[in-house]
Amino acid sequence: MAAWRGATTLGAALLPLWLTHRARLGKEDPARLGERRGAGADRPAGPLLWLHGASVGESQSALPLLEALAELRPDLHFLLTTGTLTAARLLEDRLPASLRPRVRHRFVPLDVPAHAARFLDGWRPDAAVLIESEIWPNLILAARARGVPLALVNARVSAGSARGWGRLPAVARRLFGAFGLVIAQTEEDAARLRALGAEGAQSWGNLKFAARPLPAPRAALRALREAIGGRPVLLAASTHPGEEAQVAAARAQLQERLPGLLTILAPRHPERGPALARELEEAAPGAVARRAAGDLPGPGTAFYVADTIGELGLLYRVAGVALIGGSLVPHGGQNPLEAARLGCPVLLGPHTDNFATIAARMVEEGAAERVADSGALAEAAAAVLTEPDRARSMTSAAARIAADAGALPERMAAAIEALLPEPAPAWDGIRAATATG
């Protein structure tokens, strides 16, 4: 740990240049770079719980947990940190209005001892909850040194990561042993965490099962539905390089069977939109539209590039079937339940390591189908788009799976509350009155 502290302290001198470069690329908010150095504390009075979700998936899965905690403890305020600009923007869009007065958002400080100290001394959280797999040694050990109770929830650790930590057993025990509460996604994750030093790790399930349906503005949904009309729609959601070409090849195979097919491609990184549209133009000259350019699909649109942020809820609602991106190439796949929750049948490639348990169960219970390549994608998409009973069977099975973890946020909230200081007597009275009323 001394080596990590020393390396991060020495490297801190170069971090402002790195942050400025990221800001130029649109990956940081130039006006909020101080938060990455631990500045910008604005601690509210009363108990404060710090929750951290690094990226979009983690921060969105935190929302049902946040709502459960807010209901359980009316006196509690929240500090939410994220590591990406996209996660911050989506959090701002999707945070319930009733919770906004009780929530502060900040970008997580970089893992430098001075930054961690500035952040923790400014905010003074009463407890901290890290979501999934964010292990920052300086922040964790500084929080523990200050007596801040720590929880790691919805935790996951791959076999490869476990092997890596296992090469440093003393460091792993010190870090993972710092958490007083560890709740893993699967029993495999829990076993790996116990071996690394989180002795009490247990598995309760995945918070992503309990997430709310992705939103869609009514006006935007109405406009897109009117533009599409009665055409069948194949969506490739959150795609990565190498997948769009396979989707385009599948569409070419489907032209005769589904001549009116509209293919929507939503790249995981929207900044790829212009280049992707140019590539598709070679396959379908004059038949490509881009959402970020303000286009809606017209009657002659073959490919609609949805290169915007936070609109998957809109796209899943208009699609007849969706390929979940990151699964046709070895990236590990994105969350298939986001589509399933909105009644959109799901197709998965062979690479679903990021959601292995969810994906395996969906396939086993008929809630999703596997496709290995463009040919299999074309066959499966055609079957779902032309057989309504098949589509209904898939979405019904998916809805049952998504509903299984309905009580998980409340269960986690109760465990986290045990880490917090007792509520003031006035709040005890309010909670009792609420419970009896």
Q: For the segment 6-61, what is each residue's pLDDT rounded down to a tens digit? A: 778 878 888 899 999 999 999 999 999 999 999 999 999 999 999 998 787 787 78
| pLDDT, tens digit (0-9, with 9 covering 90-100), for 307-320 | 999 899 999 999 99
pLDDT at residue number 437 = 46
Out of 81-85, 221-225, 315-319, 372-376, pick the least confident: 81-85
Q: In this predicted model, which residue has the larger pLDDT, 437 or 277?
A: 277
Which class would CATH give 218-403? alpha beta
User: How far is it, in rounded angstroms, from Cα 186 to Cα 132?
Assistant: 12
Residue pLDDT, tens place only, 394-416: 999 998 887 776 678 999 999 99
The answer to whether domain 2-206+406-420 and domain 218-403 are alike in fold is yes
CB 26 within 8 A of CB 85: yes
Query: With 70 as the cut, is the pLDDT of residue 426 above it?
Result: no
Active site residue 67: no
**Mean per-residue pLDDT, 96-115:** 94
Per cent of the chain over pLDDT 90 is: 75
Q: What is the mean pLDDT of residues 67-72?
A: 94
Please pick, among 28, 35, 58, 338, the residue that the annotation labels catalytic. Answer: 58
Q: Which CATH class is domain 2-206+406-420?
A: alpha beta
pLDDT at 228 over 60: yes
Domain locations in the chain as residue ranges: 2-206+406-420, 218-403
pLDDT in tens, 251-287: 999 999 999 999 999 999 999 999 999 999 998 999 9
**Per-residue confidence band for 436, with pLDDT thresholds at 50, 70 and 90:** very low
Q: What pLDDT score was predicted for residue 151?
A: 97
pLDDT at 210 over 90: no
* Average pLDDT of the residues of the chain: 92
Q: Quote the pTM value.
A: 0.74
**Which tens digits make up the pLDDT trace of 155-205?**
999 889 999 999 999 999 999 999 999 999 989 999 999 999 999 999 998
Chain segment 368-399, per-residue pLDDT in tens = 999 999 999 999 999 999 999 999 999 999 98
Residue 425: predicted pLDDT: 66
